[in-house]
Amino acid sequence: MKKDEFLAEKSVSDFMWFLAETLPNLRVDLKIRKSAKVPGGVNTSVLGLPKVLNEYRWNSGYVAASGEKIVASDWRSTKHLLTELSLSLKLACASGNDEETQKVATQILQWGGDRNKKVGATIDIQNLVLCNQLASYLNETKAIFAGQTLEAELLRKVRYTGSMWTKIYALNSDDGLPIYDSRVAMGMVGLVNLFYKHRKFDSGGVEQFLTFSVPVGTNWDRNKKNGVLLNGITKINKDDSVWSKDTLKLSWIMDAVLNCSNLFSDQGDLKSRKHGFEASLFLLGYDLKAIFR
């Protein structure tokens, strides 16, 4: 399926217009427990999804080549940090230098909170470097994610997926490909179910174009324990091609919604607006009661 065909599907088109009309005035009651990543926690209500960015909290960073620890906590500092990492990654990939590409990719994983370097993306990256394929692989997948199709055979060429890999793909993108981790995915699921509630429609798995899978982990469990009833969602594991499919679906819906609205206009160009949209979903996905209270 091509991008234009996907966006022309009635369920997708209806959802897109629902978001464009609803998100500017959506009430969001944010309640995030304090932790090392979220010092002080978040406990406030805002009107309009773009206002969520003012409450963005995520204390994380990476170690620069100089040995300096680069840290960000609010949206402004995080946006700057990710812009710098993105530029470094693209330059490394363009040079074809696997060692330089690995250094930047490792910094991205540090910022992303990679907890176990013995499994997952760290090992995948090391294996690609051993085969002299890291930069070429990222250049190949960059072209795939910039494409206009959900062709299964093509998406299977994205061999590695997961919450850490999606950060690398996003920062290597030129068109604002969103990070598709568990919280962003859950945030999108919440908006789809808000749409169903507004239309008084029980999906029952019918709306195939609006299904978004959620990575396994604590975020899924937390929302379930909080009593949020969600329709038509499934879990996905690492290296599942559905991950790439849902990333593209989210990216295309973002394009369409932002092109027909002024949402996140204060962030700048379309790419920056998409990153703002994604960051808001990240906060929303912690506890979907924020929009269902």
Query: What is the average pLDDT across 35-41?
Result: 89
- Give the whole-angstrom CA distance, residue 125 versus residue 118: 11
Q: Which secondary structure element, helix H or strand E, spans residue 98, and what is its range?
A: helix 98-112
The confidence score (pLDDT) of residue 211 equals 87
The confidence score (pLDDT) of residue 228 equals 64
pLDDT at residue 234 tops 90:
no
pLDDT at residue 209 tops 60:
yes
Question: At residue 231, what are phi and psi to the nearest 5 degrees?
Answer: -100, 145
Query: What is the average pLDDT across 12-18?
Result: 95
The confidence score (pLDDT) of residue 127 equals 96
- Give the whole-angstrom CA distance, residue 70 versus residue 108: 11
Tokens of residue 88, six digits: 């470094």
- Give the whole-angstrom CA distance, residue 237 versus residue 165: 12
| Residue whose entry in the numeric block shows the structure tokens 């060692």 | 99
- Give the whole-angstrom CA distance, residue 153 versus residue 161: 15
The confidence score (pLDDT) of residue 293 equals 67
pLDDT at residue 216 tops 80:
no
> pLDDT tens, 280-291?
999 999 888 899
Across all residues in the chain, what is the average pLDDT? 90
Selected residue with higher pLDDT from 231 and 121 = 121
Selected residue with higher pLDDT from 65 and 248 = 248
The confidence score (pLDDT) of residue 202 equals 54
